[in-house]
Structure 1
């Protein structure tokens, strides 16, 4: 098997000349559509040489079948020195990263990943999810009750989309909801791409210190929450350190409220924008589950893809990739692949195969919280459709501000009118 091109990531073009590595496409034509350049690459160069801000070039994979297969390929490692090195230069050294945050479910390989996932998945029990489903409905109702009808627009991100999953994940983890302003601030800082090295180091250190303090509290006063459960598991697995529990808690805390909040906001926007599918789904509430899956496909929130490193040589779509080269698996591009989804650029609430999307990943690293996220988004949408049949946008959907400088895509605000 070929070991691929030399460092620099070039590959032969149609005429034999090498292609220069391209920068990752990031400019969106609208808040709901991925960069247009991704469609061209998917059609013409599905494994494209990709320029990295730090070090040699790697590869960008954009087709659904290739991305799905790569997500499950053990030859591609999730271990890497920095989560965002394909979109900004690494600001923190591997040694600093090891001190501030040990490998977690996103950044480890078997057998380490297998051990951590087993411990965490044991906390996502059917009993806990069923209890949370009832609690989620109560939380949603409480926040919708506070949306008093009036002439002034309401920011739905601030009023519903962010606080609901924040409260849910707080209760799941055992993080006091009264601390939400701190952990929401830290989450935004850790996901931001425009922070300085000093700012990033300070945010990481503050988050770690906060979670270690919380672990100490839960060790002294256990409760029926995930952190207490991991501490109990620690007694039977002494290799699970407090630092590992903190890293796992940080991942769940960030993924559990930031990603879900943005899916909620994008789903509401997709239903309210022309041709206003809100009314269609309100009359046919059985479509809500389809709306959830189609939103996860159409408006995939992990906007820059997942980074992997080749552990050994492999070939993807005829392109040789050498051991040690970095590979970006672009989930939004894969979820808009016309070879997998008919009319992929249409938001179709009747789509029967939307659930095949890669919004939660695939393979060993498939998101553990996928069912919890689905319950939350479904509950919010169904409740809002019932309670606010005349909900409408209070701004041009194409001009709404988005999180362009964050790893997770979403709306910075979503102004709506709650009455006609």
Structure 2
């Protein structure tokens, strides 16, 4: 017997999404209950009271994200929005890569892939190392305590993505503020709309400048390729630049902070990596799995009826394929709530998504994390928290999980 939304219990009985993490190193406790009792379940979005499906097992999340019968188009009526987006903006919004379906998605992604190949990222590594060393030099000169978020975690990926895109870093405070606002579930429609409009106006001027005088950067190269391919207009390029700029620093910045916090709270892992740096790449995969910071960034809409082991998601209904739940699925990861930097199956995580929308910047993120963690452990071996863990403020109100400040000393 199958179940569908029209047979669902009353909305009042549905859990609300998002659910709060009670421990920074673990997913919301409800996820384990859902995987066990109702792996494909109904929920209500806190932001607007609309219904959605939650998909919580590793197997089902992969199935949904790899299924051509689901859409990423945020303009579809059933799309599970998690922000107060003004209706007028939603009608006029230009789809970005994350919210495109083939063939538009295929064409734009093909033009961007050369910028993020393993070979290209390897060429960028020396510059990433320079940036990290410069920021740590500044930390050491200050003498501590310092906030690791503002001193290291945020500046490193911001500088890297600015140089890659050709965005002036001197404008970072303004675009970081817009970006942070755009990640906040609690912002009003007016505040959200103002942040998007502000960033787009800034990027509109930048893209126009590069259309007239291209440089040696990703946006300029995209513009030049597009003169031949003709797959995007000016607004499309502005929208692409917004995605690259926001996505290129928000996610990595939060992973830097949380990863450092985990290593400080688990000195046995920190000592093991210090004694054997070859453990670091595997440790990064385990930290990515553990935190799964973009838990609900995999919003979809069913284009056709989809049967997941007897539960039917009807065409037009919204889906949240929760990678944080999938990454703590006991069927794939033994003792999933334990950080194990030697975990052989860690690379099976879905923290970067899965399928055609898997994060295009995953190679760059891994290099940034490896350089930051490795350099920090080597250069500041006495690093420690300067405030108790329980006093830290975590981003429970944001689309991308993280910590607002991370005071450290040495």
Q: Same fold (TM over 0.5)?
A: yes
Tell me the distance in 1 between the aligned counterparts of 2:7 and 2:250.
35
With over 3 angstroms needed to count, the CA separation of the structure-2 counterparts of 1:286 and 1:6, relative to structure 1, is closer
Pairwise CA distance, 1:251: 0.8
Task: Give the structure 1 partner of residue 216 of structure 2.
Answer: 224
Pairwise CA distance, 1:10: 3.7
Number of equivalent positions:
409
With over 3 angstroms needed to count, the CA separation of the structure-2 counterparts of 1:82 and 1:285, relative to structure 1, is farther
Give 1 or 2: higher helix fraction. 2
Match of 1:204 among 196, 203, 226: 196
User: Which shifted more, 271-280 or 106-115?
Assistant: 271-280
Task: Give the structure 2 partner of residue 335 of structure 1.
Answer: 327
- Correspondences of 1:21-420 after superposition (within 5 Å): 21-52=14-45, 53-54=47-48, 56-81=50-75, 86=80, 88=82, 90-93=84-87, 95-99=88-92, 101-125=93-117, 128-148=120-140, 152-418=144-410
Tell me the distance in 1 between the aligned counterparts of 2:248 and 2:345.
25
TM-score by length of 1: 0.92
Tell me the distance in 1 between the aligned counterparts of 2:293 and 2:23.
14
Pairwise CA distance, 1:128: 3.6
With over 3 angstroms needed to count, the CA separation of the structure-2 counterparts of 1:36 and 1:148, relative to structure 1, is same
Unaligned runs of 5+ in 1: 12-17
Pairwise CA distance, 1:108: 1.0
Tell me the distance in 1 between the aligned counterparts of 2:83 and 2:174.
26
Pairwise CA distance, 1:279: 1.8
Pairwise CA distance, 1:151: 6.6
TM-score by length of 2: 0.94
With over 3 angstroms needed to count, the CA separation of the structure-2 counterparts of 1:223 and 1:127, relative to structure 1, is farther
Native 8 Å contact 2:76 2:301 kept in 1: no
SS across alignment from 1:123: helix
User: Which shifted more, 297-306 or 63-72?
Assistant: 297-306
Tell me the distance in 2 between the aligned counterparts of 1:282 and 1:127.
27
Say what the alpha-carbon RMSD is for the aligned residues: 2.3
Native 8 Å contact 1:84 1:90 kept in 2: no
With over 3 angstroms needed to count, the CA separation of the structure-2 counterparts of 1:84 and 1:242, relative to structure 1, is farther
Tell me the distance in 2 between the aligned counterparts of 1:235 and 1:258.
30
Pairwise CA distance, 1:6: 4.4
With over 3 angstroms needed to count, the CA separation of the structure-2 counterparts of 1:192 and 1:84, relative to structure 1, is farther
Tell me the distance in 2 between the aligned counterparts of 1:191 and 1:56.
19
Tell me the distance in 2 between the aligned counterparts of 1:256 and 1:23.
29
